[in-house]
Structures are given as structure tokens and as C-alpha cells.
Chains A and B, each alone.
Chain A
């Protein structure tokens, strides 16, 4: 999956949670943890590690709260 597609999806999620009361990054992280497969999470984390170009601040902030994908998935 391409990084800009993932970035767009993550930014859309962030756009919702920044309008909600509470910490947006928490909402973003739990939504992604619940719905994204491990390879998708791995790709997003890698993208953030590489600087996170084009990502909303709430997505970058959510990185530490994302469940790390099981080891094998991180390879794909």
C-alpha cells in the first residue's frame, strides 16, 4: 500500500478526532489499533519514523500509542 494513501486515511481519522473533546492522538491511535491490519500499521510507523511527511500532527503524536505489529508483519 502506498504511503500517501495511508497518510490520507490517517489524516482523515485525525481530522475527526481533533474535533472531539479529549486528546486527539488517543482517539486516532485506538481507531487505528482497532481497524488497521499489522502491515498497514507497520507501514505507517515506518513513514512516521522517516519524518512523517504530510501527516497531521495528531497522527504523528499517536505513533507512541500505536500497537506495534507482531514481528513478522513488520517485514512485509
Chain B
């Protein structure tokens, strides 16, 4: 194991980018960008000026005065953190006056601090200790007096003393240790954008409080941990550090939750993970993270993890724990027998967006080269497959156009069908920062999402459309842009096909696409559509960010095309601050698509019918590949019910819980003769499995994830796999048991194979990632440093293509039996099917799925807040609790899908996107009625699951 330690030195204040300025500090000449603080300039010269309230992730406030310096020609002792450099400045950082001054400051601070350093959780990792040492503090002359740390003073309770706040499961606030440096308050404002903390009182009485002086858990705090990271003392401290002690080394790795792809330092003591600290060098997150990445990794050690392989003859049997050899042999024998009987197309695989690129590549290789079929699909089918199709048709490649840094230059952000504060929290924090700087915001979503409540933001415009009418609303935006002449003629002439634009212009200008006509369909006031179109078209930089509320519809692909059309016609492509940005759900959705997980595409999005592309893999792998597209997940299940599809290897996915129309999925799985589930836990799908292969967590393996900005980030093994093998090794065991003869000894070799066969990855290898940290594809001879922004000089496909986007209503319509429209989403603290997050303290925030319903709809049904209600669609029914809220419009209800007991997907239907079969999760016609308990399906299902989880005692 190679430790990867970066110099985590705190430069005191944030970097600036002005023209160079030269000055002298303690006799050293140094040149820095104008706007840089004297403190940072000194740090660049290697001189560390003592400081308490300053840190380089926050703007300086000059509160503690410890960082005072002397500047020739200036009177007094200015604070170096708030004093910008000037040309020719001569600075002294250590003089007798300064030394005396600093000791005085420290003495005052320490006099109100409990001196229990030896038993303090921050012992050895405390900036107050460091500074006491740095300034040469040797005595504290003030006698005992008024303070915040003693529980009792002069035989009476100390009114200034407050008990610890341990309401948050991950960190503790101990007011006794606070030095009121305000770093936490500023971190919550500047970095996270939540504004949960304030300083209450003045002078000696001032203290940090959450909300209106309530426990952290009762405040707006979202537990991102930015304040804990910023705190220089043990006042805000991770509970894991309190329990374990300080870490002794750190390894850089990548979060395995969402598509932001935050970089973290996994801080270790031995092989125990002490804490995850977001890395400042991480280009996606710039030192920030959310509650999941920072805190919710306890599932890796959870007792529910299955560590030994298991098999059973039939799914009605109890599981039998066996050796790896026996499990792999059992699986391979079944697969071979089925292939001999029914041909290779009776077999298939599902790759995971949670696994690494290398693992995904091997799983699809297993299907294509070893099984001999193109039956490979991925969970991206159910989220972003329309992005792949839509962007490939219009731009020529299936990927977001920007990096996350681009958000710093956005003037108008359009967020469509996404809820970034919950789904992509770190991106949301970065966007909120930009909104506070004055960028405008347009939200197109049925719900009033939290982004619209951003404190101190510029304008916000909400277009609350009826679920399923995205295409109508986006085409109406195009209508306004073309009829009012707001399009960018020069860009279109230079970069797109003008005749196609002329066709689209004629199409969009038709009266049925006017905002007034669309208002009737979508419920969005025409004036709001017009205002949004004008704002987006007029902004110097307009950027579109979208999520699953765009893709998970019967017209998902058409909506993606409509988005691409809008960006092209306004010239918002090819430079920082603009673009089309799909917010990917899981950590490696982008990567799993890039790696050839789809049944019709080889790695690098090359169609299987392309003989040249097949030829590359045929010669690399020494096999003949099928030129025919394989089956998609829903088609596999259909074919299974029909008896033609019989065996599946599922890595890291829980299709029974995550895919729509649960009954149909269950029927498909039950019809198969060999279901191999490779996962951390006995997930819901495993109820139908014959072989269970234990998986490894991201902490236990090497590899790479590719985030939503096409950034390839390293995942590094920080501890040995508890189950014995990394996931790529398990796939290799299975392949070899089928005669593949693979001999990979490290994922780096898999990356080399990817680079050798896939043009966009030609320049990627582990040595390069080690050196640069990360790179954005395409990375090859044409772009040796990777590509932060795509389509800069021309579209990947040549000329950008405009495609007509006619609105076609979904077949899923509300009617007398099912008068409401259900739409689904997720919350910040939980992750998808929740298999991981439900096994952490994150359940403190979201213990169950609830149904959001408008007060009006609730009242006519006699439903009150907290009541158990029955949710019925034509596919099925389930029960859950109601939350009555105006966040959803009348006629719309909303729920999440994090808990298997709720099984929201029992009610979603098998409707899907016309081009990609991405399921229509976001629209289901439903009825809601009062209920007194779980539905029949829930009870039956609970019984089935309990039965299928039985594990027979191991035979010796």
C-alpha cells in the first residue's frame, strides 16, 4: 500500500488571481498576485505567521489579532490576514513588540480555556496548542474569574457554562472550549451556504449558537461538517476522533456516493478509519463535502455485511455458506450448463454505477468475451440513459460539457428536474455561493426545491410544471427565443447546421408551442415562461443543470434534446460558465456508461455493429464478438418471463428495489435458473438469488470513478477487503472458472487495457493519475491534459444538430380512478436504495419514506399530517405516512425510495422513455386514501424476504 500524503499546509487566506505584486517579508523578496494577504504572501515565502481566526478556506475577518505584523512606513500593527500586499511593501513578522502583543492575545484567550489538553480529543491536533507554543506563552497571569468552562464557580453554578451538545450523531459541540474565532460561522455561510450558525451576544458573553440557540439537530444544520473541519479547537469535534484518537496518516480517495465525486483524505490510525476529510486539492469539491461522504461510511463495518460466499439449489432453500472455490464453481457450472442448453444469449450481466471503471469494464468484458453475448446493462439505464442518447444525437458525445469550477462564472443557472441541495450537495453549495454573488436562478420542477430558499441570493424564478410536461415547457422557451429574435446567429452559423436550425425555428415558432398554449398543459403561467426564456438568453453566461426529473420520463430523451437545442441556439456551449450539465446520480454513472455497460455499445460509445470497433476488442481479447445489440434490463426481465433469458450476474445493484414495477421485476428474477448477486449485503434482489458473492467497499480496493464532470478520480485501498477479495478479483475468478484465462494482478492493468482500446482514454494511466490527482476525459494525443470543457472549437460530431421536440403526452395520465400524479426523488442524508446509508447514523434524519401531499388534496381525503395512507396505482399499492406540505402543488404527490419496506416502486409502472427504455419514475397516476397499516404486498413481501434470508448453520 502506498501512502499518498499531500502537504496539507494552511496558507491562512484564500488564493487570489490578480496581477503580480512584489514585496519583501523578513528580508525575503516575494511576488504574489495582487489582492493576496500579507499572511498568505508570507506563507508562500515559507514564513508562518501565528493565526487563530484565519484559514485558507474562508475569507479573513481580522478578529483575533494574533497575526499582527509591522509594515515599514505604516503605523501600528495591522492584522496580516486582512491586509492586502502592496508593491514594494516591507514587512516584519517577528519583532519584540509583536512578540509581546501576541503573548498578550494568547494569554487572554487561554485564561478562558479549560487547560485539560492531555485528555482533550484535539490533543496533538489543536491550533490553539500550536499557537501557544508558537508565541512562547509560558504563563497566564490572570487569576480565576468569569469564564465559560467551569461548571461551577464560587460554589454556585456558572451561568456562562453550557453542557455539550451531542444531538448530532457524528460530531459534538462543547461550548466550554470555544475561542469565538467565528470560523465555524463563516464555514457554514461561505462554504456550505446554510447559515445555520450565528454568534449570540457581544464581547465576553458572545458564543456560537445553532439556529435560535437550539441543539444542532433542531436547527437548519445539514451536518455537512464544514464547521467541524474549520474549528481550530476541540469545540466542534468528530465523534470518531473522540472515540478513537487522532489519525496518523492519510490516503487520498474518492467518495463512493454521488456523482459530484468529492476527493477525501481517508485519515487512518493503523487500519482503522478515523475520519474522512474533504481534500482541498480535490477539483470537484475544493475541500467541501456533504454528510454522506464525510460521515456515512459506517456501513463498511456493519454487522449485516456478508463476508462469506453462499449458494443454494433453489430460492426456496436456506443459504449455505461455502468456500470461494465452491461458490465460483457452482456459479460457473450453472452458467455453462445454461449456455450449452440455450445459447449465450440466455446469459447476461448488470454492471454497477457504484463500482469502479475497472470493475465495470471487466463485467461487460465477461459478458461479451466470456459468455459470448452483448446482454450487458447497467443501472444507468434507469437514470441517465436518455442523456446518453440525447446528447449523442445533438452534440455527438454522451457527457456533460463543463467542469464544476465552471459554476463560478455562471450568470444565469437553469436547474431542471434536479434537487441539488439533496442530490448533489457539494455542487449545490458551490452554486449557492455563485447565487449569493448575484447570479440568477431559474428552477423548472414540480416541487419548490430548497435551492429557491438560498439565503442572500439574487433573483429566483420557479416554473412549477405538471409532471410529464418538460418537453412542452422547454419547447415554449425555445418559442420565445426564436420569435423574439433572442438567438445567437453568429454561434449557430459558425457551429451548427443552419438549415436544421431554420427547421427548428419554424417548428418552435408554431402557435401550439407558445407559452400561452403551453400554460394550459403545464400549469406554468405564460409570463413566467417568457421571463425565464429572456433571462437565460440574455445572460452573458447561461448554464443548464439537470437531473433525473428530466430523464425519467417517457419523453426523457426528447427533453435532453430540447435542452441541447436551447444551449446551442443561445450560444451557451464551449466556454466556462455555460453548458449542459447532467447531474449524475451515483458516483460512477458516467464511468459505467463510458465503460461499455450498454448492450448496444462497446466501451467509448461505439456501436457493436461497427466492425472497426469490434475489431479492436476482438484482437485485444482474441475472441469473436457479436455484432447484434443485446438486451436491456427491462427486456431481460421480459425475456426471462418468456423463458429465453435464464441467468444473470448482478454486481452491486439492487434491481428489485431500484427498478420500477417491483412485481414485474420479481417475476422476471423468479423465472431465472441462475441469479448471481455480488454485493455487500443480502439486498432485496438476493431474495431471488442462487449464488451470493460478498462484495468489497470502496475503502477496500483500488480503481477509478468518473464523476459527472468526466473527471477520472482515483479510489485507493485504505484497508484490506473484509470479504477477502476486491470486486474486480471476484469477477476474474468467475471469468476464469468459465475458461477465460485472465491474469490481472492490479486494476492499473485494466486501465491500461481501457486506454489501449478506447480513444478518449488513450492518455490515461495510473502513473499519470498519481502525478496529477485527476484528469477529465477525453485525454489523448489531441488533449494530453484532458478536457475540462468540451466542444470548445467544434462539436464532437462536427456541427451541432437541432432536433424537433414535439410534446407527446405520457400514457400515464391522471383520471377518475387515479386522480393524482406521483413523482419521486431523494433526500440529502440517504442514498438511492439506502443499502449503505440506512446502515449508518444517517437514519437520524430520514427514518422512513413519507408521502408529501398538498393540504388541499389531504383535506378532501381526510388525511392529516402523520397519518398512514394507502398509495395505489394501476401497478400496485403500498402504505406510508403522509406529510402535508405546500412544497408540492395540488394534484401532485411526492415520495422517496430509500426504504425497502415502503417499496415506492411497487406503484411505479413499466412505462419508459421511447428511445432508451429509461423508466418513467417521475410520473405515476395514483390515488391516496386513508389506511391503517401496511398493504398486502408489504406483508407478503416481508414474509418472503425473511424466508429468503435464512442462512443454514455452516456444515463442518
Q: A residues bordering B, Cβ < 8 Å?
A: 1-2, 5, 9, 12-13, 15-16, 19-21, 31, 33-40, 69-70, 72-73, 76
Contacts and interface: CB of A to CB of B under 8 A. Distances in A.
Interface string B619-630: 000000000111
B827 interface: no
A1 B635 contact: yes
A5 B638 contact: yes
B382 to A, nearest CB: 16
B600 A72 contact: no
A6 B252 CA distance: 48
B834 to A, nearest CB: 30
Interface string B517-561: 000000000000000000000000000000000000010001000
A31 B915 contact: yes
A1 B639 contact: yes
Given A1-B635, A1-B638, A37 B628 contact: yes
B453 interface: no
B600 A20 contact: no
B915 A39 contact: no
30 contacts: A1-B639, A1-B642, A5-B638, A12-B554, A12-B914, A16-B558, A16-B915, A20-B803, A20-B804, A21-B804, A31-B915, A33-B609, A34-B600, A34-B607, A34-B609, A34-B629, A35-B629, A35-B916, A36-B629, A37-B374, A37-B599, A37-B628, A37-B629, A37-B631, A39-B639, A40-B631, A69-B628, A70-B628, A72-B343, A76-B644
Contacts of A36: 629
A13 B915 contact: yes
Contacts of B558: 16
A38 B630 CA distance: 8
Nearest to B599: A37
A19 B914 CA distance: 13
Q: How large is the interface on B (under 10, 10 to 19, 20 to 34, 35 or more residues)?
A: 20 to 34
Interface centre among A19, A34, A37, A40 (most CB of B within 10 A): A37
Given A19-B804, A34-B629, A73 B345 contact: yes
Nearest to B630: A37
Contacts of A69: 628
Contacts of B639: 1, 39
Contacts of B916: 35
Interface centre among A16, A33, A72 (most CB of B within 10 A): A16
A15 B914 contact: yes
A33 B916 CA distance: 13
Contact of A35 (B600, B644, B806): B600
Considering the complex of A and B, which 5 residue pairs feature the smallest CB-CB distances, nearest first? A19-B806, A12-B914, A1-B638, A76-B644, A38-B628
Interface in B539-586: 554, 558
Given A19-B804, A69-B628, A76-B644, 9 more contacts: A1-B638, A2-B638, A12-B554, A19-B808, A34-B600, A37-B345, A37-B628, A37-B635, A73-B345
A40 B345 CA distance: 12
Contacts of A13: 914-915
Contacts of A9: 912, 914, 917
Interface in B760-813: 803-804, 806, 808
Contacts of B915: 13, 16, 31, 35
Contacts of B503: 21
B212 to A, nearest CB: 53
A75 to B, nearest CB: 10
Nearest to A21: B503
A13 B642 CA distance: 23
A72 B343 CA distance: 10
A59 B806 CA distance: 19
A36 B644 CA distance: 15
Nearest to A70: B628
B367 to A, nearest CB: 13
A39 B629 CA distance: 10
A4 to B, nearest CB: 11
A12 B916 CA distance: 11
Nearest to A76: B644
A73 to B, nearest CB: 7
Contacts of B600: 34-35
A44 B630 CA distance: 16
Interface in B589-625: 599-600, 607, 609
